[in-house]
Amino acid sequence: MTVRILVVEDNERNLKLVRDVLQFAGHEVIEARTGEEGVELTRTESPRLVLMDLQLPGIDGVEALRLIRESPEGARIPVVAVTAFAMKQDRARALSAGFDDYLEKPIDVRALPVQVQAFLARGHRGSE
């Protein structure tokens, strides 16, 4: 099943890695390099899933999520935090900020397509 996925990531290497893996898995990938751009593309491109880096130039991932949730389109989309550190505080912070789940860097390229299928199957927590 081809799904449109928005990847918000300022690091070009990480962005390319995630894009290549998801495209190889058959998905359509839209890219944003700032939180502001991510908010905009969520509104205009109707992705089925957003993968959001937390550390971004300008507004960070938490603020971008808050703005996404303000729009009717963004209120129901699963948004998954991509955390730089495998730290429990980061995970707790991401979930309490309203992210539907989190992915840890470094991205596991073999696990990613399976993780993405699980995110898609589960959808947005708030809409259950």
Residues near Mn ion (CB under 5 A) are 10, 53, 55
Shortest distance (Å) from residue 41 CB to Mn ion? 17
CB-wise, 34 or 115, nearer to Mn ion? 34
Shortest distance (Å) from residue 61 CB to Mn ion? 8
Alpha helices in the chain (DSSP H): 12-24, 35-45, 61-70, 88-96, 112-122
Shortest distance (Å) from residue 10 CB to Mn ion? 4
Encoded tokens for 51:
């993968």
| C-alpha dist (Å) from residue 49 to 27, 88, 119 | 11, 23, 8
CB-wise, 37 or 53, nearer to Mn ion? 53
CB-wise, 53 or 100, nearer to Mn ion? 53
Encoded tokens for 59:
């507004």
